[in-house]
Amino acid sequence: MDTIKRRSWAEPFKIKSVEPLRMTTREEREITIREAGYNTFLLKSKDVYIDLLTDSGTNAMSDYQWAGMMLGDEAYAGSENYYNLERMVKEYYGYKYLVPTHQGRGAENLISHILIKPGQYVPGNMYFTTTRLHQELSGGTFVDVIIDEAHDAQAEHPFKGNVDLNKFEALIKRVGAEKIAYITIGATVNMAGGQPISMENLRSVYQLASKNNIKVVFDATRAMENAFFIKIRERGYEKKTIKEILLEMCSYSDAATMSGKKDLLVNIGGFLAMNDDDVFEEARNMVVVYEGLHTYGGLAGRDMEAMARGIEEACQFNHLQARIGQVEYVGNRLIELGVPIVRPIGGHAIFLDAKKFYPQLEQLKFPAQTLAAELYLDSGIRAMERGIVSAGRSKETGDHYFPKLELVRLTFPRRVYTQAHCDVTVESVYEVWKNRATVKGLKMIYEPKYLRFFQARFEKL
Ligand code: F0G
């Protein structure tokens, strides 16, 4: 029994090793952001103060993980660390087979190749950039079947990542089940604001899919964060452990793609996991072509060990409470100040509603891209555009996709920044909010063919 009534949580760790931060002047930032084509992806890390670009590969590892790095078995074949990882994946996620990959998109490439025949459809609960591109490169067409609330920044729904079963069923009726390669289920849903999907919905999707012989491919990248939301929001799960919830979530799928760079507290790594013998056989053959032998998949032995150890740490309730609690802290402070953000607050990031910041900017003046640049100019904080630039173009018509959401993501690396960094961030966002009226937007002057948001360049209007 916890006899001390605690008023607040705190991080369940202390800091052993520090990395100095560099602050710059506004004059310096005017130059660096112009040279970066007003794209925060093109900034040099040394010119960034607080880096909220992504929670991907930017996490702080524990002493236990670093100790594991020294135990890397760097054999080309049959590394001990592979077997450790395989054991942990089976124990925590429940899948029978494991194929390591260098990161999440490596797994997406394999599964898309294996399961999609040209002309097939791939429904999912909102797109993710790399996931959809791999589906398209394999000849598939992505179909969004997430609930409508997910496309509305202000709609309050505890499980905004849920699939609209009517949309999924309508697609099956319209094209026929045999034209559907599989359904991808993201948990949490990154592009909707880090929103969770409920267990009830996962179960129903799996039932409907199985009835129609359609496989469910789970994007487990932030599934532990999703499990935390299920524990605190869904009836019947209050007393279950994160581990139990995660296992049940994964049981409603046939395979999973994983970017270990998020939940699993590592700087690099991912995997594909599955239950099906045939899919495993194919994946084991193909991983050799794209990633490396099936017992390392593009990773060093030490990286697999760090990821195996990360699974155990990431699945702790205290860890997830501090991680999601930090994001919630920033979100609640911004809400108090009247700054428009996606509600409810998601798991890995705060999403600023750029359309509300800049109602004067039409979408082709790139409001979210503009807002990310303004934030950097104000304080050296780096965020990421998640709007029309990220959405890209339709592969059929070549036109821009015009997403309803025009967002800037402040993404929190795990175990990296303190509450004081959070306060500085809130103050800077508020400053940019106060100065919103005079902002004029951007013009795109260079557009790459694939995943354009990474390398596109802009000029101030
Ligand atoms: N799925 C989701 C939900 C992701 O968020 C990501 C990456 C991937 C797959 C691909 O994994 O990067 O290891 O190849 N998201 C990063 C982000 C890039 O910043 O949100 P990857």
User: What is the domain-level CATH number for residue 198?
Assistant: 3.40.640.10
Instruction: Report whether pLDDT(356) > 60.
Output: yes
Are residue 170 and residue 292 in the same domain, yes or no?
Answer: yes
Do 323 and 285 share a domain, yes or no?
no
Q: Which of 292, 314, 336 is the last residue of a domain?
A: 314
Q: What is this structure's pTM?
A: 0.95
Q: Is the CB of 128 under 6 A from ligand 1?
A: yes
- pLDDT band, very low/low/confident/very high, at 8 (cuts 50, 70, 90): confident
pLDDT at residue 31 in the model: 98
Distance CA 153, CA 407 (A): 9
- pLDDT score for 1: 41
pLDDT value of position 95? 98
**How do residues 88-144 score in pLDDT, each as one tens digit?**
999 999 999 999 999 999 999 999 999 999 999 999 999 999 999 999 999 999 999
Average pLDDT, the chain: 96
Determine, yes or no, domain membership for 195: yes
Q: Tell which one of 257, 262, 382, 409 to mutate to probe ligand 1, the residue whose CB is within 8 A of the most ligand atoms.
A: 262
- 103 Cβ below 6 A of ligand 1: yes
Pair (444, 377) in one structural domain? yes
Q: Which atom of ligand 1 is nearest to the CA of 270?
A: 13
The three-state DSSP-derived secondary structure of the chain is: CCCCCCCCCCCCCCCCCCCCCCCCCHHHHHHHHHHCCCCHHHCCHHHCCCECCCCCCCCCCCHHHHHHHCCCCCCCCCCHHHHHHHHHHHHHHCCCEEEEECCHHHHHHHHHHHHCCCCCEEEECCCCHHHHHHHHHCCCEEEECECHHHHCCCCCCCCCCCECHHHHHHHHHHHCHHHECEEEEECCEHHHCCECCCHHHHHHHHHHHHHCCCEEEEECCCHHHHHHHHHHHCCCCCCCCHHHHHHHHHHCCCEEEEECCCCCCCCCCEEEEECCHHHHHHHHHHHHHHCCCCCCCCCCHHHHHHHHHHHHHHCCHHHHHHHHHHHHHHHHHHHHCCCCECCCCCCCEEEEEHHHHCCCCCHHHCHHHHHHHHHHHHHCCECEEECHHHHCECCCCCCECCCCCCEEEEECCCCCCCHHHHHHHHHHHHHHHHCHHHCCCEEEEECCCCCHHHCCEEEEC
Look at residue 160 and tell me if it is in a domain.
Answer: yes
Q: What is the pLDDT of residue 4?
A: 57
CB 304 within 8 A of CB 82: yes
Same domain, yes or no: 79 and 222: yes
CA-nearest residue for atom 19, ligand 1, is 54
Total domain count, the chain: 2
The verdict on 84 and 42 lying in the same domain is: no
- The yes-or-no verdict on residue 181 having pLDDT over 50 is yes
Residue 170 lies in a domain: yes
Domain closes at, from 314, 331, 354: 314
- Give yes or no: residues 159 and 266 share one domain: yes
Which residue is closest in CA terms to ligand 1's atom 11?
104
Q: What is the mean pLDDT of residues 60-83?
A: 98
* Domain identity same for 198 and 138: yes
CB atoms within 10 A of CB 457: 17
User: How remote is the CA of residue 220 from the centroid of ligand 1, in Å?
Assistant: 10
pLDDT of amino acid 33: 98
| pLDDT of 244 | 98
Say how many Å lie between the CA of residue 153 and the centre of ligand 1: 21
- List Cβ neighbours of 347 (8 Å cut-off, separation of 6 or more): 188, 194, 195, 196, 222, 225, 226, 228, 229, 323, 324, 327
Q: Is residue 431's pLDDT more than 80?
A: yes
C-alpha–C-alpha distance, residues 166 and 61, integer Å: 42
Same domain, 304 and 254: yes
* Residue 186 CB–ligand 1 contact under 6 Å: yes
Confidence class for position 27, pLDDT limits 50, 70, 90: very high
The token pair at 239 is 């007393």
What does the angle CA 40 – CA 456 – CA 365 come to, to the nearest 5 degrees?
85
40 lines ligand 1 (CB under 6 A): no
Tell me, yes or no, whether 301 and 377 share the same domain: no
Strand order in the sheet with 407-411: 349-353, 407-411, 384-386
Average pLDDT over every residue of 272-283 = 98
Q: So what's the pLDDT on residue 395? A: 82
CA–CA distances in Å: residue 7 to residues 4, 19, 173? 9, 30, 53
pLDDT on residue 7:
73
Domain range for 227 = 64-314
**Rounded to an integer, what distance in angstroms lies between the CA atom of residue 74 and that of residue 309?**
17
In a domain? residue 205: yes
Catalytic (active-site) positions: 76, 128-129, 219, 262, 386, 453
Q: Is the residue at 51 inside a domain? A: yes
Q: What is the pLDDT of residues 357-382, one digit of tens each?
A: 999 999 999 999 999 999 999 999 99
Nearest to 268 by CA among 219, 304, 224: 304
Query: How many angstroms does the Cα of residue 344 sit away from the middle of ligand 1?
Result: 21
Q: Is any atom of ligand 1 closer than 6 Å to the C-beta of 105?
A: yes
Pocket probe mutation, ligand 1, options 56, 110, 303, max atoms within 8 Å of Cβ: 56
What pLDDT is stored for residue 9 in this prediction?
Answer: 82
Same domain, 188 and 80: yes
Among residues of the chain, what percentage have pLDDT more than 70? 99
Structure tokens at 283: 């994946």
Pocket lining: 130 vs ligand 1, CB cutoff 6 Å: yes
2 in any annotated domain: no
Q: What is the pLDDT of residue 420?
A: 97
Helices 317-336 & 419-434 angle (0-180, nearest 10): 30
For ligand 1, say whether the CB of 259 is within 6 Å of any of its atoms.
Answer: yes
Instruction: Output the residue whose Cα is nearest ligand 1's atom 12.
Output: 104
Tell me which of 283, 314, 345 is where a domain ends. Answer: 314
- Classify residue 14: in a domain, yes or no: no
339 within domain boundaries: yes
Instruction: Judge whether 115 and 299 are in contact, CB under 8 Å.
Output: no
Q: Are residues 343 and 308 in the same domain?
A: no
Q: What is the pLDDT of residue 5?
A: 60
Q: Which of 41, 55, 128 to mutate to test the pocket of ligand 1 (most atoms within 8 A of CB)?
A: 128
* CATH at residue 430: 3.90.1150.10
Verify that 194 and 96 share a domain, yes or no.
yes
User: What is the number of other CB atoms lying within 10 angstroms of the CB of residue 42?
Assistant: 16
How many C-alpha atoms does 396 have within 13 Å on its Cβ side?
5
Question: What percent of the chain shows pLDDT beyond 90?
Answer: 96
Q: Which of 455, 356, 345 is nearest to 404 (CA)?
A: 356
C-alpha to C-alpha distance for 121 and 173, rounded to whole angstroms: 13
Of 339, 358, 379, 380, which Cα lies nearest the Cα of 441? 358
